[in-house]
């Protein structure tokens, strides 16, 4: 599969997830069906479609299919007393988390750690604490940490500013990166930057990697 297709598929998967997170299951299904159309063997999309199906038809299949009253936004017709209980928002969040984790694992399997982490972190911010979600995030972070470290060198390496200071504002950096950059003095090692910045070690490494990639800093091994 071409890289562009991979990106497109990742985008559809994410669009679907966003829609699903908003309770717009039909829209989510449309996105994931696009994925399956492009890649019939896509495990994540298939898995997610199953989850969406469970949300749409929670009691034993399509015969039990309910109307718009069961949409996540809660709008629609009132149901009768024999109709199934609606799932509360917590349950929906659990469903969504499971789906996200499934997609994230798929991304991990295809080596897309960055995308996986972004997805998981978005889900983590939007939902309640889930040990499985946290564990998956940690798994991705530890993989990325090792990858970044391999690329940068070791933690005793010293980042140095190589870009023209006057040109730095042309980049579009987040303020955390700006803060980290302000601590880069050509003397302080990466390990010490992790300590003095007070930032999460992983974020320091990730930000440094990004700063290297865009040509703002370079590393010098001591």
Partner 1 sequence: MGRVIGIDLGTTNSCVSVVDNGQPTVVPNTGGYRTTPSMFAISQDGKRLVGHLAKRQAITNSKDTVYASKRLIGRRFDSTEVQRSIDLCPYEILRGPNDDPRIKIGSKTFTCPEISGIILREMKRVAEEYLGEPVQDAVITVPAYFNDTQRQSTKDAGKIAGLEVLRIINEPTAAALAYGMGRQNDEKIAVYDLGGGTFDISILEMSDGVVEVLATAGNTFLGGEDFDRRIVSHLVDWFQANEGIDLRTDTMALQRLKDAAEKAKCDLSIRESTEINLPFIASDAQGPRHLNYELDRATLEGLVDDIVRGTLKSVEQCVQDANLDPADIDQIVLVGGQTRMPLVQNAVTEYFGKRPHKGVNPDEVVALGAAIQGSSLVDEEDNVLLLDVTPLSLGIGTFGGHFARLIERNTTVPVGKAHIFTTTRDDQSAVKIRVLQGESDIALENDLLGEFVLSGIRPAAKGEPEIEVNFDIDANGIVSASARDLATGKEQSITVNATGTLSDEEISQIIEENELYEVELKG
Residues that bind partner 1 (CB under 8 A): 165, 168-169, 172-179, 181-183, 187-188, 192, 194-198, 201
Determine the straight-line distance between the first and last CA of the chain, rounded to whole angstroms.
Answer: 42
> Strand locations in 95-209, DSSP E?
158-161
Minimum distance of partner 1 from residue 168's CB (angstroms): 5
Choose between 38 and 155: whose C-beta lies nearer to partner 1: 155
Choose between 62 and 175: whose C-beta lies nearer to partner 1: 175
Minimum distance of partner 1 from residue 169's CB (angstroms): 5
Residue 10 · residue 112 · CB < 8 Å:
yes
Minimum distance of partner 1 from residue 45's CB (angstroms): 33
Choose between 121 and 201: whose C-beta lies nearer to partner 1: 201
Minimum distance of partner 1 from residue 58's CB (angstroms): 39
Q: Quick one: tokens of 88? A: 């509360």
DSSP reduced 3-state for 107: helix
Q: Tell me the C-alpha distance between 201 and 197, whole Å.
A: 9
Give the DSSP H/E element, type plus range, for residue 78. none
Choose between 113 and 145: whose C-beta lies nearer to partner 1: 145
């Amino acid at each position: 599969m071409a890289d562009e297709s991979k990106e497109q598929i990742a985008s559809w998967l994410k669009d679907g997830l966003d829609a699903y997170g908003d309770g717009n299951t039909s829209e989510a299904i449309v996105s994931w069906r696009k994925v399956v159309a492009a890649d019939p063997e896509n495990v994540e999309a298939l898995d997610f479609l199953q989850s969406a199906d469970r949300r749409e038809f929670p009691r034993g299949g399509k015969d039990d299919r309910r109307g718009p009253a069961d949409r996540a936004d809660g709008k629609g017709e009132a149901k009768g007393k024999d109709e199934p209980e609606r799932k509360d928002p917590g349950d929906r969040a659990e469903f969504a988390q499971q789906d996200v984790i499934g997609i994230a694992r798929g991304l991990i399997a295809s080596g897309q750690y960055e995308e996986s982490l972004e997805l998981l972190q978005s889900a983590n911010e939007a939902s309640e604490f889930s040990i499985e979600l946290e564990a998956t995030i940690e798994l991705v972070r530890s993989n990325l940490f090792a990858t970044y470290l391999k690329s940068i060198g070791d933690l005793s390496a010293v980042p140095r500013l190589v870009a023209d200071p006057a040109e730095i504002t042309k980049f579009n950096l987040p303020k955390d990166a700006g803060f980290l950059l302000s601590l880069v003095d050509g003397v302080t090692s990466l390990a010490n930057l992790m300590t003095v910045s007070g930032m999460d070690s992983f974020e320091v490494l990730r930000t440094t990697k990004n700063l290297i990639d865009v040509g703002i800093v370079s590393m010098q091994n001591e």
